[in-house]
Amino acid sequence: MADGHPTYLWWKGERRRWEEATVHVTDLGWSTVGAVFEGIRAYWNPDAGELFVFRLQEHLDRLVRSMKLVRLPLEYPVEALTEAILDLLRANETRGDTYIRPLAYAANTSGKRFAQIGNDAELLINTSAMPSHLLTGLTQTAKVSSWRRIADDVMPPRIKNLSNYRNGQLAGQEARLDGYDTAFLLDAQGKLAEAPGACVMLVRDGRLITPEVTSSILESITRDALLILARESLGIEVVERQVDRTELYLADEVFTCGTAAEITPIVAVDRYDIGGGEPGPITRRLERLFHDVLRGSEDRYVHWRTPVGVAAPVPA
Ligand code: PMP
């Protein structure tokens, strides 16, 4: 770590020093309109002296799907990207919770017009510290946004295209200016879609309910993991279906989930109290189990964790 940033990042096929990775200012513009990215997290386990990347394979598989959909060619095999990420974490001597962001974008767009952008793809992977907020007691309030979630016949919500995020940004800004922490976006049919950077789950009568992947949501890896944990390990009935706005107001528990959001309890929606303003019991149980799975203190789901081997020597 130097000057608040890691020593290395990975760019154009190799690990490089942070300072070396620059592009010309005229590349600002079209280069990231079609860009796709991943948000991956690694968790530090102080007892094991090890860093664990959560569902690395699934994240890279989604990156490949995102690139396919926006027609960016992938120049590197997934195995090479896996190794690049592990090498980067080792070289940066990462000993704390970390966010890993691969970004595939169009290179050489300088001076080009919208219609001229070719398919030169470039790939950057950088890391930054991102401490977990699990088990810290963080809660949020939410507002149902006046912005609708982009629909699949407008832009592809199921992938991580950077342009999609303008939709969530507008909703998030509106919510914060109106005095809420986050936003819930409805889909084109007026049913619940998701939050700006997270999926939404609710509990009613002991059942865990969440919109289907056809409800204009990202194909979330955390959502998938939590549905498995709830069903398999906690014996909770899980229902994927359309969710009405008013169900949010009447829910016993509501939380957002995602790589960055982890599990974030929502204690009020549009100023309706949820569960008396406190995180509910199912949210708490899931949060505990998810924490232990992520950090590597739970023996099950070991296949979801890639140990980095931070103690291993790294070639200069
Ligand atoms: N929806 C959106 C729009 C997101 O950006 C994210 C974060 N990647 C999620 C949901 C949650 O997805 P994941 O669990 O794969 O991080």
Q: Residue 2's pLDDT is what?
A: 54
Q: How far is the CA of 224 from the centre of ligand 1 (A)?
A: 11
Beta-carbon contacts of 308 under 8 Å, excluding residues fewer than 6 positions away, are 42, 50, 51, 52, 53, 86, 89, 90, 94
Q: Is 218 in the pocket of ligand 1 (CB under 6 A)?
A: yes
Q: Residue 3's pLDDT is what?
A: 66
Which CATH number does 140-299 carry?
Answer: 3.20.10.10
Q: Is 262 in the pocket of ligand 1 (CB under 6 A)?
A: no
Confidence class of residue 312 from pLDDT cuts 50, 70 and 90? Answer: low
pLDDT at 316 over 70: no
Q: How far is the CA of 141 from the centre of ligand 1 (A)?
A: 18
Q: How far is the CA of 264 from the centre of ligand 1 (A)?
A: 13
Residue 23 sits at the vertex; the CA angle it makes with 65 and 11, to the nearest 5 degrees, is 45
Mean pLDDT for 56-67 is 98
Instruction: Return the beta strands (E) in 62-198 as ranges.
Output: 98-106, 121-129, 140-148, 182-186, 192-194
Mean pLDDT for 90-118 is 90
Q: Residue 263's pLDDT is what?
A: 98
Domain ranges across the chain: 8-129, 140-299
pLDDT at 197 over 60: yes
**Residue-wise pLDDT tens digits, 28-40:** 888 889 999 999 9
Confidence class of residue 59 from pLDDT cuts 50, 70 and 90? Answer: very high
As a whole number of angstroms, the distance between CA 123 and CA 131 comes to 25
CATH class, range 8-129:
alpha beta
**Residue-wise pLDDT tens digits, 214-229:** 999 999 999 999 999 9
Q: Residue 33: enclosing H or E segment and its boundaries?
A: none
Residue 112 designated active-site: no
Mean pLDDT for 256-271 is 98
Beta-carbon contacts of 31 under 8 Å, excluding residues fewer than 6 positions away, are 23, 105, 106, 107, 109
